[in-house]
Amino acid sequence: MSASLAGKTLFITGASRGIGLAIALRAAKEGANIAIAAKSAVANPKLPGTIHSAAAEVEAAGGQALALRCDIREEDEVQAAVAATVERFGGIDILVNNASAIWLKGLAETPMKRFDLMQQVNARGSFLCAQVCLPHLRKAYNPQILTLAPPPTLAPRWWGPHTGYTLAKMGMSFVTLGLAAELGPQGIGVSALWPQTVIATDALKMIPGVDEAGCRTPQIVADAAAVILARPAAENNGRFFLDEAVLREAGVEDFSAYAVDPDQPLLPDLFLD
C-alpha cells in the first residue's frame, strides 16, 4: 500500500479484534486515524480484545486512535460515535463495514433472537453506518465505503443450510450494490471485499468442523483492503473483490506467509463456487 492513507480517517466497525483490527493496524502503519467502533469495552476472558486494547495497538503501529463503544444496531450510538470521530479528527474519509453476526444453523435451530441480531447488525448496521457517515464522506477527498461481504449469490447450496445467516450476509452485499449505484455518481466509491479462504478469527468457533490449520490469517484481508483503499474511488465503485485476486493483481505471488500452516490445504470460504 502506498502512503495514500496517511492522515486519512477510517471509521471501522467491529475493529476490536479479527479482520477489523487487522485492517485498522494496516492503515495505522501508514499514519491513518482510526475510529474503532465496537461493543467490546470490557475485557472478556473468552473473547480477547477490546476497543481500548485495539486503540493501543493502533497507536503503537503509528496511527492515531479513538476508542468508541458503539452498538451499530442503535442509531443514537452510531450518531454519537460518528460525531466524536469528526470532532477528534475533523472528518471521515473511509467507512469500513466490518461488524457482522454469524449463526450457521437451519430453520428449526435458529432462535428468532439470533435471526433478528444478524439482520440488525449485518445489513441494517451497514446501511445505518453509511447513512450517518454520508455527510462527512461527501466532504472528503476520494471517499470510500468498503464492506466485508461476499459477491451476491442466489445459489440454493448457500441458502439451504443457513437461510438466516445467508440472508443477513447477502443483505450486506445488496446494500453494497445499491449504495454503489446511488453514491458512485456522487464520487463516493462503494465496494465489498471477501476472503478467498476461511480466515482464522473467533468466528471459526461458529463453524463446526473447521480446522484453523487450513485457514489464512486476517493479514491477507487487511493487505487487500489497503490496496483497494489506496485506489481512486471510481475504480472500486460497485465491485466485489476477493482478497487473493486483489493481491495477485498487485503483484503478490507467494501467499505462504498468510497461511496458518503452509503445509495444510486451504479451506475455501463460504459463498464462493
* Residues with catalytic function: 165
| Residue 65 burial class via C-beta count within 10 angstroms: exposed 0-12, middle 13-18, buried 19 and up | buried
Distant-in-sequence contacts of 137-141, Cβ < 8 A, 24+ apart: 137/92, 137/93, 137/95, 137/188, 138/186, 138/188, 139/91, 140/91, 140/92, 140/93, 140/94, 141/93
Phi, psi values for residue 270, rounded to 5°: -65, 155
Instruction: Return the H-helix or E-strand segment holding 21.
Output: helix 18-28
User: How many Cα neighbours within 13 Å face the side chain of 153?
Assistant: 16
Question: Which of 151, 169, 167, 24 lies closest to 96 in space, CA to CA?
Answer: 24
The cell for 76 is 443514537
Q: For residues 261 and 212, what is the distance between their CA atoms, to the nearest angstrom? A: 8
Residue 203 backbone phi and psi in degrees, to 5: -65, -20
Q: Is 199 helix (H, G, I), strand (E, B) or coil?
A: strand
